[in-house]
Structure 1
Amino acid sequence: MPFADLPGVRMFYTDDGPAAAPDPLLLVHGWGADSHEWVHHLPALAAGHRVLAPDLRGHGYSGVPDRDNTPRAMAADLAALLELTGTGPVVAVGHSMGGQVVGHLALERPDLVGAVVTADPAYGYARGLAPALARMADELRGPDPIATALALDAWDYTDDTPPWIRAWHTRRLLAARPHVLAESFAAMFADAGAVGVRPASDAFAGGRTQPTLSLWSDAGRAGWERTVLAHPRSRALHRPGTGHRLHEERPGDFVRDLLHWLGAPAPERPTTEPQRPRPAPDR
């Protein structure tokens, strides 16, 4: 069954690949999205790994609680899912907010997480950005939260981002539940105990005992994370020329980076890169 009835939420997830393969993977999407983020990666990853790809609470096909739509609650859901499916320890892979979620899971349930992989995770922002992030959290609680979410999303792209990625995420945000967007964003960056901004991010990222691979579109935050990661196998790498959704923009590169770091042989063509529309021929 692709649904799990967990304490407090019904979760949609897929479970692909050989059940007995080493290094099972848990793929966790970002804010306002869902597990469709991973469709370009799943075929290659599931060829040699068991791969769980859930929709977090309040997102996608999963249940939408009235409250507790926070990264910590989402991490608790994932712990319950891993226990229910008998999966673990996993390589917990998270993008953006999903990077916070897998970080909380790694810190709070180290028995379930053997390694962490993040793509442009939602932590490590400079202290000076805290007031702006708090204002954004307030605006998400305001009269037009979806417009605020779309304005935030516009910062996630470069001129080279394929147009389909922008369109896909715009449609997801238009369908999102406003209270989930507001609550989860505030929990990441503005509420008491939020870990998205330094120095709170230092202890959060540095407290993990598991080896970590972090891939960043921003060179400054990649450099910062190198100074706090504790495990000797950990790496924080900058991927220039990418936007916030670097794993979607370059899924083949992401799969190769992940499998290489895990020590698995990376296939020459691990996934199909999204194709940009070709211009019509001149007539």
Structure 2
Amino acid sequence: MRTRRHPALERRRVLAGSHPVDVRGTFDPARPPVVLVHGVGMSGRYFLRFADALAATHDVYALDLPGYGTAPRPLRPLTPLELGRVVADAVEALGLEAPVVVGHSMGCQIVVDAVKDHPGRWAGYVLVGPTVDPTARTLLHQGWRLLRDTLREPPRTNAVVALDYLRMGPLRYLRTARHMLRDRIEENVRGCTPPGLVVRGSRDPIAQRDWARRLARTAPDARFLEIPGAPHNVQHTDPQELAAACAPFLDSCGPGPRPGSPA
């Protein structure tokens, strides 16, 4: 299904701690905020169709984290934990009040670290196609699952992924992937006290059903749902369907501060 580009989506650069972060956003404080966090090798660009779908009802921000997309590269690839701090600092720099933060793939690990370490800053969190399944925690396993998913993605999505991967470069990608494999989302999610939602496409070979369900059960307060027929990059292939599926959760989080205080 085609989505309409929201006319108010703007590009800005903010300083998150010591790191510049590039943002595509609606910058509409009258609506409840949603922050979108990309996965390894990617940028906020593959969230734009989903951002357009959400922009009818929410104030949406798609980030390019340090070393991704158009954001300047740090001297070395940052770990998911370090990127989680960057996300929290970016939210503060943007002046957002209790957003819902959405991660995709490795972005889920970044989101979990951000939520765990800054629990009072978020209204809730959404994990789309989360990595890394502990039963496949090697480069070989993840590479095989990625290849299988590539065969299930439409050409338009594969083109977006390939361009972002090329922009990052293979060496930096591999170094970041090693950080990804060492991160333990299945342990860190136990510290995520805001409400959560774990989502996968039903044809996603990277975030398989048993793993995604198990992660949702491990979190203190999280639900699980699937988007029928969708592959790993469901936010790009099925943005309207994903937005509709997430709408009840986003509505339940609502605007305004959550229990606790920003850390």
Give the TM-score band, short-chain normalised. Answer: 0.7 to 0.9
Instruction: Give the alignment's Cα RMSD to 1 decimal.
Output: 2.3
Q: Which structure has the larger Rg over C-alpha atoms?
A: 1
Does residue 234 of structure 2 align to residue 241 of structure 1?
no
Match of 1:195 among 175, 184, 193: 184
Distance in 2, Cα, partners of 1:174 & 1:153: 16
How far, CA to CA, are the matches of 1:43 and 1:167 in structure 2? Answer: 19
Q: CA deviation at 1:6?
A: 3.3
**Secondary structure in structure 2 of the residue aligned to 1:77:** helix
Q: Is the 8 A contact 1:17 1:49 kept in 2?
A: no
Query: Given residue 204 of structure 1, which amino acid in structure 2 is its aligned partner?
Result: N
- Which whole-Å CA distance do the structure 2 matches of 1:71 and 1:87 have between them? 21
Find 2:195's aligned residue among 211, 236, 244: 211
Any conservation in 2 of the 1:15–1:50 contact (CA below 8 Å)?
Answer: yes
Counterpart position of 1:10: 20
Q: Is the aligned partner of 1:164 residue 2:152? A: no
Q: 1:226 to 1:42 in 2, by over 3 A?
A: closer
Pick closer, same or farther for the CA change 1:81–1:167 going to 2, 3 Å.
Answer: same
Sequence identity percentage: 25
CA shift digits 1:208-257 (9 cap, x unpaired) = 111111112322113312431211xx211233432211221211111101
| Cα distance between partner residues in 2 of 1:65 and 1:102 | 20
Higher relative contact order (CA 8 A, sep 6+): 2
Question: What are the ranges of 5 or more consecutive residues in structure 2 without an aligned counterpart?
Answer: 1-10, 253-263
Separation (CA, whole Å) in 2 of partners of 1:167 and 1:60 = 14
Correspondent of 2:83 among 74, 84, 89: 74
Number of residue pairs the alignment of both structures matches: 236
4+ residue runs over 6 A deviation: none
Measure how far apart 1:179 and its partner are: 4.3
Deviations 1:180-216 (Å, cap 9, x if unpaired)?
31232111113xxx215xxxx1x22222111111112
Aligned to 1:83: 92
Asked whether 1:108 is paired with 2:96, we answer no
1:48-59 → structure 2 map (5 Å cutoff): 48-59=57-68
Instruction: Map 1:134-153 to 2 at 5 A.
Output: 153=146
| Unmatched segments (≥5 aa) in structure 1 | 138-148, 265-283
Deviation, structure 1 residue 111? 1.9
**Structure 1 residue 18 displacement after superposition:** 2.4
